[in-house]
Structure 1
Amino acid sequence: MDLDIVGLSRLQFAATAMYHFLFVPLTLGLSIMLAIMETVYVMTKRPVWRQMTKFWGTLFGINFAIGVATGIVMEFQFGMNWSYYSHYVGDIFGAPLAIEGLMAFFLEATLVGLFFFGWERLSKVKHLLVTWFMALGTNFSALWILIANGWMQNPTGAALNPQTMRMEVTSFADVLFNPVAQAKFVHTVSAGYTVAAIFVLGVSAWYLLKGRHIDLARRSMTVAASFGLAASLSVVVLGDESGYLSGEHQSMKLAAIEAMWDTQPAPASFTAIGFPDQEARETHYAVHIPWVMGLIGTRSLTTEIPGINNLVEQAKGRIANGIIAYDVLEDIRALGHQPIPDELRARFEAHSGDLGHALLLKRYVDDPRQATAEHIEKAAWDTVPQVAPLFWTFRIMVGLGFFFILLTAVFFWYSARHRLHNVPRWLLHVAVWTIPLPWIAAECGWFVAEFGRQPWAIEGILPVAVAVSNLSASTVLLTLLGFVAIYTVLIVVEMKLMFKAVRNGPHLDAQDREEVQTSPYALPQHTPASAS
């Protein structure tokens, strides 16, 4: 990636987004797990479940606060670094973000306060309802953000107004029920649940290794193992759905992930491992698994998946068609506020679907109509993202996903057989060291989704190179360094607070002690005096 204004703007948004997403998945998953734990507490009246809810709730609160602080900045970047993007698609992209803020985030933030300060002020059932609504609010926030992002991947329910040069909503229902957005939502949320489950599993394993808070750790491990197994299985199933939709709506991304340079006979094989060479346009030492890619990408045995070279040839045709749309658009803009003749409007609508491909030429010429065959060739190859990073990142993500299934399945087996007290110490160590891996998998997922969309800010409509603000590279570089510094400090603060909370363990307030003393279900707290 060239470190010009476009490259630096991409790098800045990627850095802030990936920093922010370090906090989001844990918030998503812990919110649901808190609701599950408190439900068990209300149903069984066992004090240990109340302690569990409050302890994991403390970790949730730390993560939530830092996540909010890192997320607010991203929305301002659309206006600061991507002003033409905001002008071009703001009418559509802004609506889900506004709804997220007004409906989901305010609900979530308000109920977070009630969750922490309502234990002694609300009845058990009312506080349980607060916890469940807090969890729903957290997931609703993700829904609206992913509807906006899904529209960037598959722009539907909108059309360009040639007089205002703005995309306008034609069907909000199509934006809302965009199949790519819905698949991204369930896939991302399931990944967040897996992150939280592995986190709870790992921390619980650490307590068991230290011989501290045994009752809390074993019950937390039971919840985490079952919840994590279901979530990790869902991630794989929903990832298959995302692969199918990529084949339908983002063929170049799918071809780049697979390093498929030429169209294969159906059903296409899956490249388990290989070494993509973008200059030579081939994959060295590739190991193929027959049929798998065809089934993932098309769910059939007869439909072909186009290769990169074939898609580039298609892009050349779309660029040529887009130049016609650009020429008609200039005629329309010359009319000013006069009505557009029907013939001119019909010509524009016939070619407008490829206008975005003509805008790829803006990287080489100011007026796409002046482009040469060489310019068109370069612009067509610009539609190919960097293959090797996508190829390997995708396989790291998938490999980790199957490892999480295996790990949670093993702990689920121990839990179902009531043998958590017999878990080998080496397996507990594995659980502890696995804690950071779901974050790596989640970041890999976002990298594949966003890097694979290049060079498009809006798939097929607006290239990244056209979407940026008119800023100097030094200005963007300075703010990038500032954001990295601030976010790094926030991550260090979060980790210190989380480590401190885990080391201290659950805190028993007056009501906790009273319930422990009076409850017939109370169990002895296996906490050494030195740890207390």
Structure 2
Amino acid sequence: MPAARRMAPHSRQTHRRGGRKTMELDIVALSRLQFAMTALYHFLFVPLTLGLSVLLAIMETTYVMTGRQIWRQMTKFWGTLFGINFVLGVATGLVMEFQFGMNWSYYSYYVGDIFGAPLAIEGLMAFFLEATFVGLFFFGWDRLSKVGHLVATWAVALGSNFSALWILIANGWMQNPVGSALNPQTTRMEIVSFFDVVFNPVAQAKFVHTVSAGYVCASVFVLGVSAWYLLKGRSVELAKRSMTVAASFGLASALSVVVLGDESGYLTTEHQKMKLAAIEGMWKTEPAPAAFTAFGFPDQQARETHYAVHIPWVMGLIGTRSLTTEIPGIDKLEAEAKDNIRQGIKAYDALTKIRAAKQAAPNSTSQDVAAEARSSFEDIGHQLGYALLLKRYVNDPRQATEEQIAQAARDTIPHVPTLFWSFRTMVGLGMFFILLMTVFFWLSARRKLDRYPLLLRIAVLAIPLPWVAIELGWVVAEFGRQPWVIEGVLPTAAAVSNLGAGTVLLTILGFATLYTALIVIEMTLMIKAIRKGPGPDEEPEAKLISENLVPAAE
């Protein structure tokens, strides 16, 4: 198959004619919408699973160390809510990996050798580890020793977080494709260093940041539900202890999210400069150190941020950790994109010649051409992805006009207002969680958790806010990467399957209906379990001792 067809079939292209977009753009947009919808739905369950699993382990550890019955009761009650969330999280997560073959078949072909490895490890190791010990957690209370059951609970927590690690290694590689190279003979990405893929700094930063956000989510959930019990005067002792654990764990987690978020910002400066500039609404390159835009109204058309309120030096310190390193603006990065596209065209030409020489009859001329093309491709092959940006406008990037190159360069600019406000809302909520956890940590230390009903109501109302912050974080991470499905390597428009728009739309409607039903089921079960509250839970051996020591009343 010719290289041009293998790299991006014509059916995946999108053209603009007369200011109108053809139906193929709808396929790309609908495929993106479907994946975004299923991913955001799925991640409504993931953070609570990550955080509750660790909180359960902490509570049961306290029970094993102290022998106090209330800690066992706490573990079983919050474990019930964990179980409901875990089951529905698995149900929504199973669909995610199938979408790569269904909607993103060329993506699967192009990078499957790399992207599939961490997903396979996640399924074979982490998922089965987690699922196996979840069964022991729920059904092993009277079959395992205290220590044995505690080991199973910690295995659930480790399995949950280990699962997230491999998923985020895969996602981190999409943000920063290290340890890999394109094989010009097969036009597929291949692993050069699995070590570099696993220890990708972007992946590691995303993992600890995402997991910490899940810990905050679970802490706010436990805090809010416990506050509701205190307001109702129910299960007071259990609620107070739960709030103490949640406030302590949540405060540490909320502070770590800020620190780890700073690390993510620093890595974004190194590997995804356009995303950072869009988050900041920074159109022009500023002298170092750059100011942080606390407030403003980005205007994509005018390429200006109106009524901007700047805090001097802050962005330079966060983004570069220095006072002398410059952060490039959107205009400068767009100009660099044009140069990269021109280099990418040369890489595309070299790749085409390599492929043509492979299919031609071997002779000295074809071998010389192939050798020269391979030498050229080794130097500039990493820019090939920029040439593929032109596939939206022309079948052969080598025939692109300057106007088409300029348009492809403009495509590298994501929607700035979306990123600008998503990031600031997320950060604002993060600061609120730190304040909330600090207040309840102080009240817990002073043993005044039930003294201020207004604060308890605020804790109840805050329950959904971590999900808002987390979903906005994913919007910043994924929407900010556009137009790339793999940063600098494969454009999103070139990665979709050859499906009809009607087919994709039908699956979107199906998934939306199914996932909405699952969320309604989860909310119903969760609310029912919370209203029922923790029931009496007395260990058989404790009950027997009690009956032997305390004579029955005559």
TM norm structure 1: 0.96
Tell me, yes or no, if the aligned pair for 2:41 and 2:515 is still in contact at 8 Å: yes
C-alpha displacement at 1:7, in angstroms?
A: 0.2
Give the AA of the match of 1:271.
T
Give the AA of the match of 1:9.
S
Of residues 109, 124, 133, the one that matches 1:102 is 124
Aligned equivalents of 1:516 and 1:53: distance in 2? 22
Aligned equivalents of 1:379 and 1:134: distance in 2? 47
Q: Aligned with 1:420: secondary structure?
A: coil
2:466 corresponds to 1:433: no
> Could you say which residue in structure 1 is the equivalent of 2:533?
505
Q: Aligned with 1:271: secondary structure?
A: strand
Q: Measured at CA, do residues 274 and 185 of structure 1 come closer, stay the same or move farther in structure 2, by a change above 3 Å?
A: same
Of residues 446, 449, 459, the one that matches 1:420 is 449
Q: Aligned with 1:4: secondary structure?
A: helix
C-alpha displacement at 1:65, in angstroms?
A: 0.2
Of residues 418, 439, 442, the one that matches 1:410 is 439
Aligned equivalents of 1:518 and 1:171: distance in 2? 62
Tell me, yes or no, if the aligned pair for 1:47 and 1:515 is still in contact at 8 Å: no
> Could you say which residue in structure 1 is the equivalent of 2:202?
180
Tell me, yes or no, if the aligned pair for 2:357 and 2:370 is still in contact at 8 Å: no
Tell me, yes or no, if the aligned pair for 1:51 and 1:512 is still in contact at 8 Å: no
C-alpha displacement at 1:336, in angstroms?
A: 2.8
Q: Aligned with 1:335: secondary structure?
A: helix
- Write the deviation string for residues 272-303 of structure 1: whole angstroms up to 9, x where unpaired: 01000000000000000000110111000000
C-alpha displacement at 1:345, in angstroms?
A: 1.3
> Could you say which residue in structure 2 is the equivalent of 1:487?
515
Point out the more displaced range, 334-343 or 254-263.
334-343
Aligned equivalents of 1:433 and 1:516: distance in 2? 42
Tell me, yes or no, if the aligned pair for 2:70 and 2:238 is still in contact at 8 Å: yes
C-alpha displacement at 1:513, in angstroms?
A: 9.7
Of residues 372, 390, 405, the one that matches 2:419 is 390
C-alpha displacement at 1:416, in angstroms?
A: 1.5
Point out the more displaced range, 280-289 or 341-350.
341-350
> Could you say which residue in structure 1 is the equivalent of 2:90?
68
2:469 corresponds to 1:475: no
Aligned equivalents of 2:473 and 2:544: distance in 1? 44
TM norm structure 2: 0.92
Tell me, yes or no, if the aligned pair for 2:277 and 2:329 is still in contact at 8 Å: yes
Aligned equivalents of 2:283 and 2:271: distance in 1? 18
Aligned equivalents of 2:278 and 2:450: distance in 1? 47
C-alpha displacement at 1:512, in angstroms?
A: 6.9
2:276 corresponds to 1:254: yes
2:77 corresponds to 1:55: yes
C-alpha displacement at 1:154, in angstroms?
A: 0.2
Give the AA of the match of 2:153.
T
Aligned equivalents of 1:206 and 1:512: distance in 2? 30
Q: RMSD of aligned C-alpha atoms?
A: 1.5
C-alpha displacement at 1:516, in angstroms?
A: 11
Aligned equivalents of 1:518 and 1:244: distance in 2? 59
Q: Aligned with 1:470: secondary structure?
A: coil
C-alpha displacement at 1:511, in angstroms?
A: 2.5
Q: Aligned with 2:410: secondary structure?
A: helix
C-alpha displacement at 1:506, in angstroms?
A: 1.1
C-alpha displacement at 1:317, in angstroms?
A: 0.2
Aligned equivalents of 1:303 and 1:87: distance in 2? 39
Aligned equivalents of 1:305 and 1:66: distance in 2? 43
Give the AA of the match of 2:437.
T
Aligned equivalents of 2:546 and 2:124: distance in 1? 44
C-alpha displacement at 1:346, in angstroms?
A: 1.2
Of residues 76, 85, 107, the one that matches 1:85 is 107
2:245 corresponds to 1:216: no
> Could you say which residue in structure 2 is the equivalent of 1:300?
322
Tell me, yes or no, if the aligned pair for 2:38 and 2:511 is still in contact at 8 Å: yes
Of residues 357, 361, 384, the one that matches 1:335 is 357
Q: Aligned with 1:276: secondary structure?
A: strand
Tell me, yes or no, if the aligned pair for 1:28 and 1:138 is still in contact at 8 Å: yes
Q: Aligned with 1:304: secondary structure?
A: coil
Aligned equivalents of 2:257 and 2:56: distance in 1? 21
Aligned equivalents of 2:373 and 2:508: distance in 1? 44
How many residue pairs get aligned? The number is 518
Q: Percent identity?
A: 73
> Could you say which residue in structure 2 is the equivalent of 1:350?
379
- Write the deviation string for residues 38-57 of structure 1: whole angstroms up to 9, x where unpaired: 00000000000000000000
Q: Measured at CA, do residues 287 and 317 of structure 1 come closer, stay the same or move farther in structure 2, by a change above 3 Å?
A: same
- Write the deviation string for residues 94-128 of structure 1: whole angstroms up to 9, x where unpaired: 00000000000000000000000000000000000
Q: Measured at CA, do residues 290 and 246 of structure 1 come closer, stay the same or move farther in structure 2, by a change above 3 Å?
A: same
Of residues 267, 274, 283, the one that matches 1:245 is 267
Give the AA of the match of 1:278.
Q
Aligned equivalents of 1:302 and 1:510: distance in 2? 64
Point out the more displaced range, 330-339 or 445-454.
330-339
Tell me, yes or no, if the aligned pair for 1:52 and 1:506 is still in contact at 8 Å: yes
Aligned equivalents of 1:363 and 1:512: distance in 2? 69
Q: Aligned with 1:111: secondary structure?
A: helix
Unaligned runs of 5+ in 1: 520-532
Unaligned runs of 5+ in 2: 1-13, 15-20, 548-554
Give the AA of the match of 1:489.
A
2:46 corresponds to 1:18: no
Give the AA of the match of 2:445.
A
> Could you say which residue in structure 2 is the equivalent of 1:522?
none
2:182 corresponds to 1:150: no
